[in-house]
Amino acid sequence: MLHSFKSLIISILLLSNITYSKDMEKIVFSEWDKPNINIFYNLPAQITENTKVIFVIHGNSRNADGYLNVWMKLARKNNVLLIAPEFNRSSFPSYNTLMMSTSDGRIRENKDLYLHNSIDLFFDYFINKFDLNADKYMIYGHSGGSQFVHRYLLMSDNPKVDKAVAANAGWYTFLHGAPFPYGIKNPPIDLTSAHIRRFLSTEIYILIGSKDVDVDSSVNQSDGANAQGSNRFQRAKNFFDVTTNIVEQNDLDFEWKYQIVNGAAHSNSKMSKAAAKIILKDLEEW
């Protein structure tokens, strides 16, 4: 009897301190009405009641595993589950606009592919898979991923986000009367005042590299994008300034911050380091 009791205690202790490798893992997510998607993830050394969740959204290169690898190094001492979905080019060519439009402003009519609730669906999946206590997530996106992040937080029905960093976006959806996706006129789904108020009251950091001023083939040169500025640096500043003016004119709650990362050009690794200081601040370390 004593032996059985000791065995039970040992089993409970082992289950309460589940250890994992620090390797990258992958699932093929199919639990939705869209094409299957690879999701890369990295578990903390132990899953505990304090484990947090961070999503990392890739740029137009679609190298979700490379983005995750950068964050694995940055967060190796933190109790976080890192998740990096891969929106492949063939299935999700316009992931940066949540599959709602092309970059030259043409609305995509197939609403079955819209991604405005995708991250929260992934979040719920991983919460259930690893029996996590977290009720919110943090999210980082760079370049095309930054476009995805700010549009997701605007268009999503009810994002369970705690904190977000949008770094070096090529162009934005402004909260003004330009047609979607450059502004919020005639969006392809309902966009209410509640969406906008929630968007503005979310803790969002707009990051831009001080040297992200090159204009190459990767920079959107459509009329709608060029109206926002001639390069990424100008567009980021204008996006924040215009939003600030709207907030002040309408006396709205505003929780955004704007930060220039000195010396950084269009570099995910440098922007990730700056973002990690924001996202990992105050999180549990081993």
Model confidence band, residue 22 (pLDDT cutoffs 50, 70, 90): low
* Burial (CB count <10 Å: 0-12, 13-18, 19+), residue 6: exposed
Residue 273 domain-assigned? yes
Residue 226 domain-assigned? yes
Extract the tokens encoding 268.
């995910």
In contact, 82 and 71? CB cutoff 8 Å: yes
* Residue 53 φ then ψ, to 5°: -125, 130
N residues, the chain: 286
CATH number at residue 110: 3.40.50.1820
> pTM here?
0.92
The pLDDT score that the predictor gives to residue 100 is 99
In contact, 179 and 224? CB cutoff 8 Å: yes
Residue 17 domain-assigned? no
Which of 191, 205, 128 is CA-nearest to residue 161?
A: 205
Residue 157's domain comprises: 22-279
Does pLDDT of 206 surpass 50?
Answer: yes
In contact, 245 and 254? CB cutoff 8 Å: no
Pairing of strands 37-42, 257-261: unpaired
Residue 1 domain-assigned? no
Residue 92 domain-assigned? yes
CA distance 70 to 82: 11
* Residues of the chain above pLDDT 90, percent: 90
* Residues of the chain above pLDDT 70, percent: 92
Residue 113 domain-assigned? yes
In contact, 264 and 211? CB cutoff 8 Å: yes
Mean pLDDT of 86-92: 98
CA distance 167 to 141: 6
Residue 220 domain-assigned? yes
CA distance 172 to 148: 9
The pLDDT score that the predictor gives to residue 66 is 98
The pLDDT score that the predictor gives to residue 16 is 44
Question: pLDDT tens across 46-83, in order?
Answer: 999 999 999 999 999 999 999 999 999 999 999 999 99
Question: pLDDT tens across 229-260, in order?
Answer: 999 999 999 999 999 999 999 999 999 999 99
Residue 26 domain-assigned? yes
User: How many domains in the chain?
Assistant: 1
